[in-house]
Structure formats: structure tokens, C-alpha cells
């Protein structure tokens, strides 16, 4: 006959006319279910739980929990009643619009404030104002079917509460809808990072494979995090500039359609090596009217672009000594290796013992080799995984 989607029933009683009174475990509500199975809210106590019901004549006693209390409810002698709504939360500062209701014989007042519980800081009660359609003779809007509407006159605030006065015993209030326009919240980019490239695909072999060597990838996988309080559909535009340069250059979403995902794969093959700053602009222009749309920007930390291979200069060999210098213009040398006659790569250290500079001189002693001519290849790798090589021919007496 009657159910609550967001609560449960705690007690039942029979009214004088044979209707059923049902108490709920949330919001302190007591409902009246008539013999024709229509239900209405008839008692609303301040406590959260209405736990017990007892009827004494025409009066109804309600026992509550959270906190404990006892209330006596009686029909108003004047035939009038009043209903105080729960506090409505717009989550942000909001401009309150029209209040529509279904029913008859009801008048409304509203008040607004910025605390979840009404206090002295709330605005005073104000009656509803006339609709625009009422002011101009109803030419701009249809009449309300089975109810009415008015404009909320309470000032802009996060919270709103309405008070309904039922003017006679025959008055009814079946439903209330309040419209509001929350203040638009600005979406913000909080972080921009580089995603790792996909790891090499592993294969099954009968022997243990050698560790996969990182290979250079000229594509920077830009990924950014966004705080989006409104949950609006956002679009993004990207610009970039060399570190120390004031001129921003378009990167993505500036010409043509903007980006709709918080990611972009930037192919940097045509960009000179160096440090670059990427600017991400986020906008809710597709979810908000032009006059309400907001945007924000975020500058990344300097990102290294290094697509050029290191150089191995002045490579000379006088068996068993091998020497030279590994040089890179953009990122430090991180690894040095040599191979003899196409054999396995053998790592070696630069002259200062640690590979961490743009220029790394080296001198290495080659292993014992057989008499005759041999080819030696030196490979230098930088921090961007670019590898450059040079070779020399040596003769072993």
C-alpha cells in the first residue's frame, strides 16, 4: 500500500477515521495512508527518527529517537496548517528562481543563508514574488495546472528553505519544485606529466633473453589532471614555448576543434632540442552559455626535448688504449659501451668515473686481441635514450 524509497517504517497506528498512520526512521516524518490508498505527510518532528505512535482521541503522540523526545500532534483549531521544508542545498552559491507547487489553498515564504543550519545569519522570510507571466497578464507563460508558481525573492545563497501555509482544512500540498542557478565553478588543471611509453613486448624463448634496452621515442605523451567541481564537459587547448622565450606557439586544439580528453601525444621530431614549457587551457564553454563560461590555464615544468644523437668525437686507438669524447647538446651522457668485431657490447666508465655530463672524455684499455686488424665501435647514450656511434680500425702487432 505504501513504501519509502530512502527510509523505512518504524511504527503504525490507526487514526479516528480508519486511516493508517506510519512513522519513518528518517526525517522525523509521520504519514497518513487513507482508505483510498493515497498518502500524505501529516506530522514532521525536528528529530531524525519517529519511533513510536499512540493515538489518544483526536491527538497523536509521537516518540522520537536521535534525540529522545515526545510530541503531541493535534489538528489545528483554525483549520490552518504549516509545513517547514528541509534545508535545500545547491552545493555552491546560487541564484534561486521560480518555486512551482502542486496543490490548492497554499501560500509560500522562503529564506536563504550560507550555513547548513538556519541561524541568525540567514536572510529573513520573504513571500514569493509574482511570476513574469502574472505581471504581464499571462501572455508569456502557461497557467499552472493544478497548482501555482512564484519567484523566490530570497537573496543569492547556497541554502534555501521554504515554509508553506495551508489556509484551510481543505488545502492540499502535493509537490514542490524549486529552480536555481548555481555559481559556475572554474575547472583547474593541477598537474601535467609525461606518461611512460609502452614497454617492449616480451617473447617466449628457450633461453633467458637479454634485458631490453630502452629506445628513444620522439613522441611525448602529455597527460594532465583536472579538478572539475561542476562535472562539466571540458575542452582543452595547448601551447608551447622554449624556456626563456616569451612567445607561445599553438600546439593542439587551438586551430580546429579543441581537445576533449586530458591527454595529447606530441610528436617532437620537428622541434629543435631544448627545454620547453607546455601551457594547458581548460574551458567549460561547451557546457555553459558564453557569458558564464570560465577557463583556466596551467604551465608545465620545463620538459626536455632531445631527438639528436650524441656524438663520439676524436676517437683514436693505439692498442691497447682507446680514447675519445662523447658529447651531446641537450642531455647528459648516461652510458658508454664498446664492441670489437661485432661482438657483445661492453660497458665502460668515462674518465671521471661517472656518466652525468654533456661532455664525457674517456680512455679505456681494450682486452687482449689476436694479431691482425680489428674494428672497434663505441656507442654513447644520453638521458633521452638517443644513441650515437663511431668506429675506428686498429692493428694488433
Strand partners of residue 244: none
- Which residue's C-alpha cell is 517504517? 9
Q: What is the pLDDT of residue 206?
A: 46
The residues near 32 (Cβ < 8 Å, ≥ 6 apart) are 15, 19, 20, 21, 22, 39, 40, 41, 42
Q: What is the pLDDT of residue 140?
A: 35
Q: What is the pLDDT of residue 133?
A: 55
CATH superfamily for domain 311-396: Immunoglobulins (2.60.40.10)
Q: What angle is formed at CA 83 by the lines to CA 79 and CA 84, rounded to 5 degrees?
A: 150
Does residue 146 sit in helix, strand or coil?
coil
Q: What angle is formed at CA 299 by the lines to CA 293 and CA 304, rounded to 5 degrees?
A: 145
Identify which of 182, 183, 178, 94 has the alpha carbon closest to the alpha carbon of residue 128.
178
Q: What is the pLDDT of residue 111?
A: 97
Q: What is the pLDDT of residue 208?
A: 45
Cα(179)–Cα(158) distance, integer angstroms: 13
Domain coordinates of the chain in residue numbers? 9-75, 84-182, 188-196+216-305, 311-396
Q: What is the pLDDT of residue 82?
A: 86
Q: What is the pLDDT of residue 7?
A: 86
Question: H-helix or E-strand containing 64?
Answer: strand 59-65
Q: What is the pLDDT of residue 138?
A: 42
Query: What is this structure's pTM?
Result: 0.69
Cα(13)–Cα(1) distance, integer angstroms: 15
Provide long-range contacts, Cβ within 8 A and 24+ apart, for 225-228: 225/189, 225/190, 225/191, 225/192, 225/262, 226/187, 226/188, 226/189, 226/190, 226/262, 226/282, 227/187, 227/188, 227/190, 228/187
* Chain segment 332-360, per-residue pLDDT in tens: 999 999 999 999 999 999 999 999 999 99
Q: Which CATH number among 2.40.50.1020, 2.40.160.40, 3.90.550.10, 2.60.40.10 corresponds to the domain 188-196+216-305?
A: 2.60.40.10
Q: What angle is formed at CA 336 by the lines to CA 319 and CA 355, rounded to 5 degrees?
A: 120
Mean pLDDT per block of 10 residues along the chain (397 residues) reads 89 92 92 90 90 92 93 81 91 95 94 95 95 50 68 96 91 93 94 73 45 77 94 95 94 91 94 94 94 94 93 93 94 95 94 94 93 95 93 92
Q: What is the pLDDT of residue 132?
A: 59
Amino acid at each position: 500500500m505504501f513504501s519509502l524509497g530512502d527510509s523505512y517504517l518504524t511504527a503504525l497506528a490507526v487514526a479516528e477515521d480508519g486511516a493508517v498512520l506510519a512513522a519513518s526512521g528518517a526525517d522525523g516524518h509521520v504519514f497518513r495512508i487513507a482508505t483510498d490508498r493515497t498518502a500524505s505527510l501529516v506530522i514532521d518532528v525536528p528529530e531524525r527518527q519517529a519511533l513510536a505512535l499512540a493515538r489518544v482521541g483526536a491527538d497523536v503522540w509521537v516518540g522520537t529517537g536521535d534525540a529522545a523526545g515526545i510530541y503531541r500532534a493535534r489538528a489545528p483549531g483554525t483549520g490552518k496548517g504549516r509545513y517547514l521544508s528541509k534545508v535545500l542545498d545547491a552545493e555552491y552559491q546560487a541564484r534561486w528562481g521560480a518555486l512551482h507547487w502542486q496543490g490548492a489553498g497554499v501560500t509560500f515564504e522562503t529564506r536563504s543563508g550560507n550555513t547548513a543550519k538556519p541561524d541568525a545569519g540567514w536572510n529573513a522570510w520573504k513571500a514569493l514574488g509574482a511570476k513574469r507571466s502574472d505581471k504581464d497578464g499571462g501572455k508569456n507563460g502557461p497557467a499552472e495546472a493544478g497548482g501555482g508558481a512564484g519567484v523566490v525573492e530570497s537573496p543569492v545563497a547556497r541554502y534555501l528553505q521554504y515554509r508553506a501555509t495551508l489556509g484551510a482544512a481543505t488545502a492540499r500540498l502535493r509537490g514542490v519544485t524549486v529552480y536555481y542557478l548555481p555559481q559556475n565553478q572554474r575547472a583547474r588543471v593541477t598537474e601535467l606529466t609525461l606518461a611512460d611509453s609502452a614497454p617492449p613486448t616480451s617473447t617466449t624463448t628457450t633461453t633467458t633473453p637479454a634485458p631490453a634496452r630502452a629506445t628513444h621515442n620522439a613522441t611525448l605523451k602529455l597527460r594532465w589532471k583536472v579538478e572539475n567541481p561542476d562535472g562539466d564537459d571540458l575542452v582543452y587547448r595547448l601551447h608551447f614555448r622554449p624556456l626563456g622565450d616569451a612567445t607561445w606557439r599553438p600546439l593542439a586544439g587551438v586551430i580546429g576543434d579543441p581537445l576533449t580528453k586530458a591527454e595529447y601525444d606530441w610528436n617532437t621530431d620537428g622541434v629543435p632540442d631544448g627545454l620547453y614549457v607546455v601551457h594547458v587551457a581548460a574551458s567549460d564553454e561547451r557546457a555553459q552559455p558564453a557569458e558564464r563560461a570560465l577557463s583556466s590555464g596551467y604551465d608545465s615544468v620545463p620538459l626536455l626535448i632531445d631527438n639528436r644523437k650524441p656524438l663520439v668525437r676524436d676517437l683514436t686507438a693505439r692498442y691497447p688504449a682507446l680514447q675519445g669524447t662523447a658529447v651531446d647538446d641537450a642531455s647528459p651522457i648516461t652510458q658508454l659501451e664498446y664492441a670489437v668485431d661485432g661482438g657483445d657490447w661492453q660497458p665502460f666508465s668515462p674518465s671521471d668515473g661517472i656518466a652525468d655530463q654533456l661532455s664525457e672524455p674517456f680512455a679505456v684499455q681494450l682486452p687482449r686481441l689476436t694479431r691482425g686488424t680489428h674494428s672497434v665501435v663505441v656507442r654513447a647514450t644520453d638521458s633521452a635514450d638517443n644513441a650515437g656511434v663511431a668506429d675506428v680500425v686498429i692493428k694488433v702487432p
